[in-house]
Amino acid sequence: MSLRGEGVAVAAGEATLRLFGNSVNLSGTILVLAPHPDDAEIATFGVYANRNATIVTVTTGNAGQRSYQSVFEDVPDLYHFKGRLRLIDSITVPWLGGIAPTRTFNMGYFDARLADMHDNPGKTVPEMYSANADIGAYLKYNIGSLLPKRSRASTWAHLVEDLETVLKKVKPAVILAPHPQLDSHRDHQFTTIALAEALTRWKKAVTLLLYTNHADQNRYPYGPAGTVASLPPPMPRDVLLDRVYSHPVSPEAQRLKLFALESMHDLRVSPSRLYQLVIGDDRVREPERQDPGDGVSYLRRGPRSNEIFFVYSQDSVKPLVDAFLAEWRRREDR
């Protein structure tokens, strides 16, 4: 084995090579749990494509950059539109992988609010950019019927309850979700914390495949598109795991995944700036979303010859969740 480092030094000395049986039974029902629209495609497209999968997205993605501000003057209107647009992406783009909109669902919770909901479990937490606290404002845009399309307060208790309902309806054998210790995004971390609470109520055996979409300031995975994705860089703590699974993604599936990612509005430069220029609007504004460049673009990071997961059972994931929450509480107390 020869090693060549780019952006990293390989020190001489002894090293331990660990091998894992690289197989997971994907013939049963699969549940993909994504914190935001596009997370399922970034991390799991190769796994879910053309399988017996249900894709559930927790939030509408209605936060972050003020995309489309060239065509919206009112900030709450802008972010409601962004949430609606990304929700529709989350339920329709999986069709490129053979998962019809009737087998997808967006739970309607609010982007960038899951940690606050967890830390204040008895409190209703509104959207970041408006006073709205009713997830029903977004649930109505779903096509599927996995959850009722009703008025519902944005609370941690409701989120866990809704996830329990999803588990009972889908009855998954395999669940794909973010790794709370290796993925640095708070919504990603607390999506899996909420899932863990729902799993303790459901009390069924399940295989968990935990993925990482945000690591090393969004530079991971390293190298050009199409190459092998390595393990994510570790956080400054021990990470417990049963084993690692590397799912092969064929060139044809990589091509489909590329177009699925390109179809996600939040992963490409906003078209509304071009619209503003075409209609001759003389307002001077910078583009709402700068091109992230090759370094962190998901069009480089996403289409790979494999997708990496850390494998757990319902029992073995509990120490991981406990370790994450202990570290979270220490951080909050400082």
CA–CA distances in Å: residue 253 to residues 8, 23, 103, 287, 302: 30, 19, 20, 32, 12
Output the pLDDT for position 187.
98
Q: Express each pLDDT in 287-311 by its tens digit.
A: 555 555 657 899 999 999 999 999 9
Output the pLDDT for position 292.
59
Q: What is the pTM of this model?
A: 0.93
In the chain, % of residues over pLDDT 70: 93
> How sure is the predictor about 241, in pLDDT bands with cuts at 50, 70 and 90?
very high
Task: Domain 30-333: give its CATH superfamily.
Answer: LmbE-like (3.40.50.10320)
Residues 6 or more apart whose CB falls under 8 angstroms from that of 241 comprise 310, 311, 312, 316, 320
Q: Which residue has the higher pLDDT, 17 or 46?
A: 46
DSSP H or E run through 244: strand 243-248
Q: Which residue has the higher pLDDT, 269 or 168?
A: 168
Output the pLDDT for position 282.
57
**How long, in residues, is the chain?**
334
Output the pLDDT for position 269.
75
In the chain, % of residues over pLDDT 90: 77
Whether 279 shows a pLDDT value over 70: the answer reads no
Whether 120 shows a pLDDT value over 80: the answer reads yes
Structural domain spans, the chain = 30-333
d(C-alpha 282, C-alpha 252), whole Å: 44
The answer to whether the beta carbons of residues 188 and 324 sit under 8 Å apart is no
State how far Cα 332 lies from the chain centre.
Answer: 24
